[in-house]
Structure 1
Amino acid sequence: MSKAQTVRPASTLFLGVDAGNSKTAALVSTASGEVVGAGRSGCGDIYGAPTPEEAVAEVLAAVRTALAQAGADIGDIAGAAFRLAGVDWAEDRDYWDEALTRHCPGALSARTILNDGYAAIRCGDPSGVGISVTGGTAAAIAARGPGGELWDMGWWSQHAMGAVGLANEAFRAVFLAELGLGPQTALTEALLTHYGKPTVAALNHWLTRRHDHATGQERNSCARVVTAVAAAGDPVAADIVRAQGARFARYAGVAARRTGLAQADRPVSVVLSGSVLTAQGSPVAEALLAELPAHVPGAVLRRGSLPPVAGALLDALGEAGVPLHEPEAAHAVLESVTGSMPPQEFLAT
């Protein structure tokens, strides 16, 4: 019998959702951690989507796809963890509470809603204690302390990080070099080639003109170019990368201090996620790791094989009473989740 045809008793399934700007992913599993349904859709950030309701529609689309693959109904979900970009203030959480109640009446009553920064924490330590540092399109940093204390960066960040930050700093360096106000850099030729523009003036025009200007995705697409130029030895690009890594480490230090992890007499799990930090040989990750011990004493890097949406699913299971704080139980669930994840291309961006 296929998954789509399997009939299960009600309220035996669990839902984890990780929503960002580039994509939204949803997983449905049994209590043992076997993933039986997966769904993917577009931007689920109420700040990043054209309208908040469109973000809600994308999240629900991913959930419905995952449920359909599982042969389940929304009423079969015994516990759900929504980890959503743009849940930065109490009113954002209230918005999602109201929207989920309106769109799913009588269902998903056992749910938690947090910023997407929390999604990856259990990918490092299944107990849910530690720090998650995400560098994707943008940045998300969140921590859960030993006493359950929570802190996430949200709008406290005063620096653009992730692909957005790398792109912005690269454009600034190229434009300052063109004006004679900054050093010459190999980023100039690299960005002109990447975008197919003949001159720096043409690039600036395309980025900033009123009509037919570059989309956010197009602007940020040069992030890998910036890290490649840095890795090739360009000093301007290398400075941009080092500054990015240092900022990630410093904000992680804030997260540790705000949640009691800086004082905890135990190793501190730090999980890296997002393409900027997990790309093979990422110079941003190298810079972060060089700076991290000064800000998070006892930091233990976790490069887990599970994506953040799996961490959201583990949150749903842990919050429902699955004893993920017990090593034996956690190991069994992690093995089950890992062995039943959808193909890697499901999460490719």
Structure 2
Amino acid sequence: MSGGVDSAVAAARAAAAGYDVTGVHLALSRNPQTYRSGARGCCTLEDARDARRAADVIGIPFYVWDMAERFHEDVVDDFVAEYAAGRTPNPCLRCNEKIKFAAVLDRALALGFDAVVTGHHARLGADGLLRRSVDLGKDQSYVLAVLTREQLDHSIFPLGDSTKADVRAEAARRDLAVADKPDSHDICFIADGDTRGFLHGKLGATPGDIVDATTGEVVGTHEGAYAYTVGQRRGLDLRRPAADGRPRYVLSITPVTNTVTVGPAEALEVDRVYGERPVWTGGSVPAADVECEVQLRAHGAPVPATVRVEDGRLVASLHRPARGIAAGQAVVAYRPDPAGDVVLGSATIATTERAGAAGSPASGGTH
């Protein structure tokens, strides 16, 4: 129970369905006052109090589990290390993988519980397959696609058949004080929302060059390549405008040379994505090419693709080019289904390329 409306209603529904429910709030910060406050996060002291009050209203036992050290090692340290390596991680995805459905689930099973219930907007069908929520605007199946078949077998997502408006209305009917609490935004462990400043505090200043991909000229400098991500346009502070006057975007980040490469928007286009460490949420590794859709960022639109397994990697050949695809994000494959799109599997994006464009900034390399 994070202290938000979704997890409160999920707990209430589980209790109303007759389950023996215990509420658990995760203390994830070594110093809770350094995490987001003002009812905007999921790790604050206010959130813990809100979760406890919701549990009291529902009438279930409530505990706080201290997982600050595990969270710092598996999520915060990983976040910093990924940016230092020129990648753009998704900490919510990592938290689901390492904390909520690994550390928490393992402890719950050891204590004799059968499953972990969360307020994620996603569905588990009668066949046990993970599907998108009916509320596509709130769908969170993308950040759950790292879960294994065994983890899903011990998971319950009661909200997948409801819209967010339905959830808030139900919370009000149940007299849950969090009915109108704002959703959490941004990254919970960055108190002021300044990701660049947070990374600077962890990694320090590492000045380097910003290079134009077309001319090879140095067109600016930076204080740390970790402050940039593929597809970024704002905040580049380039000294020399492009010859054609068009805006330039970050095309790639090369930690070895501490270089940020920029160029025109069309140079961002890729049509092949390679993912490492695939997890086949559907339960089996595809034996042949699969026609499906892939989602390449948390709130990105699905792209038709052909997915196959090659040397243990997930390879997605996009049917139309996509722009601004960053290494470190997830590629999630979905199979269209009349009952709702089914998650086939996911992988961490390692490299991308444009077919027939070998040697371009978007070919191979770290983005």
TM-score by length of 2: 0.30
The structure richer in helix per residue is 1
Q: TM-score, normalised by structure 1?
A: 0.31
Structure whose residues are more often strand by fraction: 2
